[in-house]
């Protein structure tokens, strides 16, 4: 493999790599988001569990707090601290405040961050106390003792540090994260295996194509490939069909050329060798004149074979189309062939519309079509006769007709004359190649038209009509002799 080819191969991207780049960054982001949410969820679950103990402790103290004739009786039960005993690393803080805000028991500076309503509900807060993060619960209990000063509700506050909560939440989070990472790894392996399985038919297709011979252009079977690749296989098959048709056309052209040019070349060789043996000037002139005619015939044959090759749809040249004025084109071709008609004393006339007749076509190919029709008419017409070229538009079709006064073509032969190199014995001159009408038909069909052979005017000669699609346009006649 050459250096540019290697560089190009290295520059090609891998579909597996592209899929991985599309999957991995979103997966990493989703994993990060899920990790944050998982940690928050674990912390909330731990808080809910621990908050039950905190709430139970506060309510246990509230149940043992009473007031009688202005004297508050407080008894903090052991059960209020029982839920915290197995967590020695935690520090528990508590405080009970009378209606006036005086400390009855506990820590004097342990206060709720905001007033607690007298609803008997426990409110939970996240605050910092003595430099530590704590979870604080507060509740106001009404004692219904009018003898109390400042109201009849006491405030009960319990707080605990969050170290154990955070550690437990972290353990739960790490356990969940491990399971998620295992699932991600399993999913990644499954994706790789799925990609390998998905690309296996493509690899098999590659190997099959590599084993094909250079001339094997049969369609690629799309049975075993994924449905997403089927359009690509269809496009490849369509392109291979075009290549196959082009190769067939090339082989046919080479076979025709080898078969048809061999005879003219042999004739030229014979004439040249005969001329070399002559010593008489007059005989040499006659030989050279014959040689010149043979050269012209060979040149005409080569030109027509090249035109035939270009006109075939497989070569794609006929597909290069553009709007053109068919009336001007036919008239120009007729004018170019006037000298050939005058040489035989033939009256060449053109009848066409007075306005432009625009169609969509290949100008070079249509010129060949018209030139072949007129050239054939002149060559096969007797001297001092007439050839008429007419153009008209009927019902969305442009009709080009060329009529002559030659021998015509019998009805039994009219289908055969469109074949390559087919000539009717005994008609025309020796320079004919039998390709004229074949070229006309090929170009006509490529433009979506048709060609019809009819008897000439009065049953004499031949009239060739070529019908090409076009838009409806007004037509007027003019004659040019």
Q: Which of 310, 333, 353 is the last residue of a domain?
A: 310
Band (pLDDT 50/70/90 cuts) for residue 426 is very low
- Model pLDDT, residue 128: 92
> Do 464 and 337 belong together in one domain?
yes
Contact 174, 52 (CB under 8 A): no
**Does 217 fall in a domain?**
no
Average pLDDT, the chain: 78
> Do 328 and 306 belong together in one domain?
no
Contact 55, 137 (CB under 8 A): yes
> Do 437 and 358 belong together in one domain?
yes
CA atoms within 13 A on the CB side of 473: 22
Is 10 a residue whose pLDDT tops 60? no
Band (pLDDT 50/70/90 cuts) for residue 135 is very high
- Model pLDDT, residue 255: 63
Is 13 a residue whose pLDDT tops 80? no
- Model pLDDT, residue 472: 42
The separation between CA 129 and the C-alpha centre of its own chain, rounded to angstroms, equals 66
Residue 137, exposed/middle/buried by CB under 10 A (0-12, 13-18, 19+)?
Answer: buried
Is 82 a residue whose pLDDT tops 50? yes
**Does 345 fall in a domain?**
yes
**Does 461 fall in a domain?**
yes
> Do 300 and 342 belong together in one domain?
no
**Does 221 fall in a domain?**
no
325 vs 317: CA distance, rounded Å: 19
CA atoms within 13 A on the CB side of 4: 0
Contacts of 134 (CB under 8 A, 6+ apart): 93, 126, 127, 128, 159, 160, 161, 162
Number of domains making up the chain: 3
> Do 271 and 292 belong together in one domain?
yes
**Does 104 fall in a domain?**
yes
- Model pLDDT, residue 137: 93
- Model pLDDT, residue 310: 62
- Model pLDDT, residue 475: 42
Band (pLDDT 50/70/90 cuts) for residue 309 is low
Question: Which residue bears the tokens 């009786």?
Answer: 73
Is 29 a residue whose pLDDT tops 60? yes
Band (pLDDT 50/70/90 cuts) for residue 85 is very low
Taking only the tens place, the pLDDT of each residue in 156-205 is 999 998 888 888 889 988 988 888 888 888 888 888 888 778 778 778 88
Provide the residue range defining the domain that includes 279: 230-310
- Model pLDDT, residue 302: 67
**Does 353 fall in a domain?**
yes
259 vs 254: CA distance, rounded Å: 8
- Model pLDDT, residue 158: 92
Share of the chain above pLDDT 70, in %: 79
> Do 21 and 134 belong together in one domain?
yes
The mean pLDDT value for 244-257 works out to 67
> Do 240 and 144 belong together in one domain?
no
Lowest mean pLDDT among 163-172, 213-222, 241-250, 417-426: 417-426
Q: Which of 310, 340, 360 is the last residue of a domain?
A: 310
Band (pLDDT 50/70/90 cuts) for residue 380 is confident
Band (pLDDT 50/70/90 cuts) for residue 123 is very high
Contacts of 395 (CB under 8 A, 6+ apart): 472
310 or 425: which carries more pLDDT confidence? 310
> Do 144 and 166 belong together in one domain?
yes
- Model pLDDT, residue 138: 93
Taking only the tens place, the pLDDT of each residue in 101-119 is 889 888 989 999 998 888 8
Q: Which of 182, 211, 240 is the last residue of a domain?
A: 211
- Model pLDDT, residue 258: 60
Most confident of 208-212, 345-349, 466-470: 345-349
The mean pLDDT value for 241-249 works out to 73
> Do 412 and 328 belong together in one domain?
yes
> Do 119 and 177 belong together in one domain?
yes
Question: Which residue bears the tokens 């009256």?
Answer: 347
For residue 382 the two structure tokens come to 């007797």
Is 126 a residue whose pLDDT tops 60? yes
For residue 333 the two structure tokens come to 């071709």
- Model pLDDT, residue 155: 92
Is 328 a residue whose pLDDT tops 80? yes
> Do 139 and 271 belong together in one domain?
no
328 or 425: which carries more pLDDT confidence? 328
> Do 402 and 285 belong together in one domain?
no
**Does 271 fall in a domain?**
yes
Band (pLDDT 50/70/90 cuts) for residue 366 is confident
Give this prediction's pTM. 0.46
**Does 315 fall in a domain?**
no
Is 327 a residue whose pLDDT tops 80? yes
Nearest-10 Cα torsion for 257, 258, 264, 270: 160
């Amino acid at each position: 493999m050459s250096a540019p080819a290697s560089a190009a191969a290295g520059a090609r991207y891998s579909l597996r790599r592209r899929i991985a780049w599309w999957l991995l960054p979103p997966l990493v982001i989703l994993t990060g988001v899920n990790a944050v949410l998982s940690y928050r969820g674990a912390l909330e679950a731990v808080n809910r569990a621990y908050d039950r103990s905190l709430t139970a402790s506060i309510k246990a103290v509230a149940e043992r707090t009473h007031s009688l004739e202005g004297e508050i009786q407080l008894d903090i039960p052991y059960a209020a601290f029982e839920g915290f005993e197995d967590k020695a690393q935690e520090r528990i803080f508590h405080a009970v405040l009378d209606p006036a805000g005086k400390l009855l028991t506990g820590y004097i500076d342990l206060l709720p961050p905001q007033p607690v309503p007298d609803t008997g509900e426990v409110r939970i807060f996240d605050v910092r106390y003595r430099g530590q993060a704590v979870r604080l619960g507060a509740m106001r209990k009404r004692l219904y003792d009018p003898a109390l000063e400042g109201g009849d509700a006491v405030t009960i506050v319990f707080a605990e540090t969050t170290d154990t909560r955070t550690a437990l939440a972290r353990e739960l989070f790490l356990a969940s994260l491990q399971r998620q990472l295992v699932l991600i790894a399993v999913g990644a392996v499954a994706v790789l295996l799925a990609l390998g399985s998905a690309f296996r038919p493509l690899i098999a297709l590659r190997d099959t194509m590599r084993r094909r011979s250079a001339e094997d252009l049969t369609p690629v079977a799309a049975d075993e490939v994924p449905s997403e690749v089927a359009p690509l296989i269809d496009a490849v098959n369509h392109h291979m069909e075009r290549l196959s048709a082009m190769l067939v056309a090339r082989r046919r052209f080479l076979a025709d050329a080898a078969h048809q040019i061999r005879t003219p070349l042999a004739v030229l060789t014979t004439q040249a060798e005969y001329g070399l043996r002559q010593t008489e000037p007059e005989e040499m002139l006659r030989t050279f004149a014959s040689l010149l005619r043979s050269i012209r015939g060979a040149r005409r044959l080569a030109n027509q074979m090249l035109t035939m090759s270009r006109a075939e749809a497989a070569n794609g040249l006929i597909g290069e189309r553009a709007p053109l004025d068919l009336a001007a084109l036919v008239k120009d071709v007729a004018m170019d062939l006037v000298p050939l008609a005058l040489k035989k004393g033939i009256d060449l006339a053109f009848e066409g519309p007075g306005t432009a007749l625009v169609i969509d076509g290949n100008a070079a190919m249509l010129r060949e079509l018209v030139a072949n029709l007129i050239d054939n008419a002149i060559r096969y017409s007797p001297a001092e006769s007439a050839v008429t070229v007419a153009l008209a538009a009927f019902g969305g079709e442009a009709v080009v007709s060329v009529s002559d006064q030659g021998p015509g073509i019998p009805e039994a032969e009219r289908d055969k004359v469109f074949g390559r190199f087919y000539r009717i014995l005994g008609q025309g001159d020796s320079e004919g190649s039998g390709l004229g009408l074949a070229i006309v038909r090929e170009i006509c069909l490529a433009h979506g038209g048709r060609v019809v052979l009819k008897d000439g005017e009065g049953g004499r000669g031949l009239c060739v009509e070529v019908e090409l699609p076009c838009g409806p346009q007004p037509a007027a006649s003019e004659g040019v002799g």
